[in-house]
Amino acid sequence: MIRITDIVDKVVEYNPDSDLDIIDRAYIYSARVHDGQVRLSGEPYLSHPLEVADILADMRMDTESIAAALLHDVIEDTPATKEDIQEMFGSGVALIVSGVTKLSGIRFPTKIAHQAESLRKMILAMADDIRVVLIKLADRLHNMRTLKYHKSAQKQAAIAQETLDIYAPIAARLGIFWIKYELEDMAFYYTQTDEYERIDALVNKAKEEKEIYIKTVNERLHYKMEEMELKCDIKGRYKQNYSIYQKMLSQDLEFEQVYDLIAFRLILDSVPQCYAAMGGIHSMWKPIYYKIKDYIGNPKPNMYQSIHTTVVGPKGERVEIQIRTNEMDMIAESGIAAHWSYKEGTNIDENTGELFAWIRNLVENQENYKDPDEFLENVRIDLYPDEIYVFTPFGDIKTLPKDATPVDFAYSIHTEVGGECTGAKVNGKLVPLAHKLRTGDTIEILTTKGHHPSTDWLNFVKSVKAKTKIRSWINARERERSYSLGKEMIEKQFRKKNQNFNALVKSGEIDKVAEGFGFKKIDDLIAHVGFGKLTPLQILNRALPDIDKQDTGDESILKRIIRRRKKKTSTGVIVKGLDDILVKFSKCCNPLPGDPITGYITQGQGVTIHRKNCINIMKMSNERTIEAEWSNEFTESYPASIKIRTTDRFGLLADIASVISKYKSNILNARTETSEEGIGLFYFTIMVESSDQLRRIMSDIRKVKKVSDVKRIVRTE
């Protein structure tokens, strides 16, 4: 466990004149209020704030930040209040600790609503003091490092998914890439363990084969720099598993087609030396010109600076090389933390402040999002920094997300222009509304009075504003329909029990029911029934809890028998606490117990269960998604498909079948293909009880001689 003396030593090393008293007092106070509390790992709870403070010390943060890190959980997990912290440690520390503290003691209708409001609170706090989010990142980093102690695989996957969606992008936006990479790789493991293990096995095999090649490239780079009298450090690093996986996914590549598994980094003293080094490398190996990116002349929004070049190296293999100065290297690792060190206290210079204008945008935009799903999705969009710059016909510049379309541009002009958009001209030529814009384009929008947004637009628009306004219009229209349908369904259910729903509305009884479900208005409650997110029976049972006690005799006995039978024939999935709803599994992603899942309400066919990262569920309306989780009291087998790449040998199929048989898994289907290059592909559909069992089978198949890759198959269309 990290000790307070280790942290103090680090602080003294980078700031000998720092006031250590506030750190000592924060440590003593934290130890006292957390006394007796234990982490899931079995360690004293104090180990967590110490680890978080140590991460902040590694980032060379000021003493106030480190004190806040030691205290960051005291308001949430102990009787301490914000007022106590302010009185003892000052308003700066109290503001940070309060900003990091999650919302507790407040009831929310769903977990997503709670997550959204906690994130909203953090965004507002980090606008006042960026140190809030730096401590939150350190807190999340240590929680991810200890995630293995959570016993629930679903809980692990949910925390990891939130990390991928929110915290890793925030780290990237802040330019703190070492935290981004570590968070992504750990989250990748818990969200898609089978894919992580597959990539990891392939990378480890490649490492063995590439060691000599890496040494050759390194030696030749050293020799060239010495010849040019350029003093530099040369580092080589393998790309993270998650980065490799994302590249394979986005470019539809097999692992063998990913050429830049390793990137070399040259660190020099000055900018002119960087350009000289690039010239030397290009004289030695042929550059691929469209791969040259000069982020020194054109820094990224998060302050990142470096020259990237890809060359055709020894043996005709592509090699990616990054060239930067020592200062650029420090900023590339630390990002905004390099500007927020003990030297600068709480004052960010004007230029740095402008680079993080996106925080102000997050704060301004969050007021427009009432729906928690929508808020979370739009925060995710806002966190991705790639942007393009386009022009209006009058020469005004508009900034839009990468791959934005004329519809995004139209909504950036005005909501009415967006809604009435029927066509567009880009650089004088008519283009489809789904056309992807590029930096430098001039756009003219064609409108038709009375035209309305189309649901199809959601498939291609990229900006938060366009998505929000289109959804608002669609939701308003769907809400009217859902309200009418919901009211009809509820009234019918109440009539079956000889009850008058409208009379109960007038009496105020239904107001209490709406409040109990977390709604401020009865209309919202009724609309949710129409959407399929609540059932009329739930409303009836909440409004008249004793209604079923009036049933006697054979009818009541029959109902109890039916309920028992329903539970026995459960699918193993709980949909938002219900087990009396028709559930079926999607064939596009074949979810297994252990996979994070979500439900989609279909019209008249119950709820379809998808994996949370299924590409199809991501395209569907948020209004019809519903929380779902696996039941712990159910064991059943489900079909799963895998693809195995091999080089042929005698007895290979028997060895693979033997591994599957060892896990008592039945083979439903098997087929083989052989390419002209002699690569064998085996496709199996097998029955498994969980994603964990499938991972163990795949892991053992990878150990079979001549097997080069094993992959779980899911349909993406």
Q: List, for residues 105-134, the tens digit of each pLDDT value.
A: 445 455 666 566 666 666 666 666 778 888
Q: Could you tell me the pLDDT band of residue 563, with boundaries at 50, 70 and 90? A: very low
Over residues 175-190, mean pLDDT:
90
pLDDT tens digits, 480-517? 777 887 888 888 888 888 888 888 888 888 888 888 87
Q: Which residues contact 716 (CB under 8 A, 6 or more apart)?
A: 588, 615
Over residues 215-239, mean pLDDT:
88
Which tokens is 329 given? 């290297």
Structure confidence at residue 557 (pLDDT)? 41
Q: How many helices (H) and strands (E) does the chain have?
A: 30, 20
The answer, yes or no, to whether residue 187 has pLDDT greater than 90, is yes
Closest CA to 294 of 310, 309, 307: 307
| Contact status, residue 448 vs residue 420, Cβ threshold 8 Å | yes
Rank 4-13, 231-240, 567-576, 628-637 by mean pLDDT and report only the highest: 4-13
The residue with greater pLDDT, 458 or 476, is 458
| Contact status, residue 310 vs residue 291, Cβ threshold 8 Å | yes
Residue pointed to by tokens 């059943």: 636
Residue 320 φ/ψ, nearest 5 degrees: -95, 130
pLDDT tens digits, 642-673? 999 888 777 888 889 889 988 888 888 888 88
Q: CA angle, corner 637, sides to 635 and 643, nearest 5?
A: 140
Structure confidence at residue 561 (pLDDT)? 39
Long-range contacts of 466-471 (CB under 8 A, 24+ apart): 466/407, 466/408, 466/410, 466/411, 466/412, 466/418, 467/377, 467/378, 467/381, 468/368, 468/369, 468/374, 468/378, 469/411, 469/415, 469/418, 469/419, 470/418, 471/374, 471/622
The answer, yes or no, to whether residue 554 has pLDDT greater than 80, is no
DSSP bridge pairs for 429: 426
3 state DSSP class of 597: strand
Which tokens is 570 given? 């459960």
Structure confidence at residue 363 (pLDDT)? 58
Over residues 183-193, mean pLDDT:
91
Which tokens is 364 given? 């301004």
The residue with greater pLDDT, 132 or 359, is 132
The pTM of the whole model exceeds 0.75: no
Q: Could you tell me the pLDDT band of residue 408, with boundaries at 50, 70 and 90? A: very high
Over residues 4-19, mean pLDDT:
88
Structure confidence at residue 41 (pLDDT)? 86
Structure confidence at residue 399 (pLDDT)? 75
CA separation for the pair 195, 420 (Å, rounded) = 44
Over residues 278-306, mean pLDDT:
85
The residue with greater pLDDT, 707 or 102, is 707
The answer, yes or no, to whether residue 565 has pLDDT greater than 60, is no
The answer, yes or no, to whether residue 273 has pLDDT greater than 90, is yes
The residue with greater pLDDT, 532 or 715, is 532
Structure confidence at residue 100 (pLDDT)? 80
For 353-404, the DSSP string reads HHHTHHHHHHHHHHTT--SHHHHHHHHHHHH---EEEEE-TTS-EEEEETT-
CA separation for the pair 199, 34 (Å, rounded) = 40
Q: Could you tell me the pLDDT band of residue 162, with boundaries at 50, 70 and 90? A: confident
The answer, yes or no, to whether residue 186 has pLDDT greater than 90, is yes
Longest dimension (CA), the chain: 98
Q: Which of 77-86, 562-571, 649-658 has the lowest mean pLDDT?
A: 562-571
The residue with greater pLDDT, 606 or 90, is 90
Residue ranges of domains in the chain, CATH in brackets: 4-192 (1.10.3210.10), 195-338 (3.30.460.10), 471-550 (no CATH), 553-630 (no CATH), 638-712 (3.30.70.260)
The answer, yes or no, to whether residue 603 has pLDDT greater than 60, is yes
Which tokens is 18 given? 């720092």
Q: CA angle, corner 55, sides to 49 and 57, nearest 5?
A: 100
The answer, yes or no, to whether residue 285 has pLDDT greater than 50, is yes
Q: Could you tell me the pLDDT band of residue 407, with boundaries at 50, 70 and 90? A: very high
Structure confidence at residue 266 (pLDDT)? 94
The residue with greater pLDDT, 475 or 392, is 392
What region, left, alpha or beta, does residue 311 occupy, with left being phi > 0 and alpha being psi -120 to 50 degrees? Answer: beta
Over residues 673-680, mean pLDDT:
74
| Contact status, residue 373 vs residue 112, Cβ threshold 8 Å | yes
Q: Could you tell me the pLDDT band of residue 622, with boundaries at 50, 70 and 90? A: low
The residue with greater pLDDT, 548 or 346, is 548
Q: Could you tell me the pLDDT band of residue 559, with boundaries at 50, 70 and 90? A: very low
CB atoms within 10 A of CB 455: 13
Closest CA to 96 of 68, 127, 77: 68
Residue pointed to by tokens 């929310």: 108
Structure confidence at residue 488 (pLDDT)? 84
The answer, yes or no, to whether residue 629 has pLDDT greater than 80, is yes
Catalytic residues: 76-77
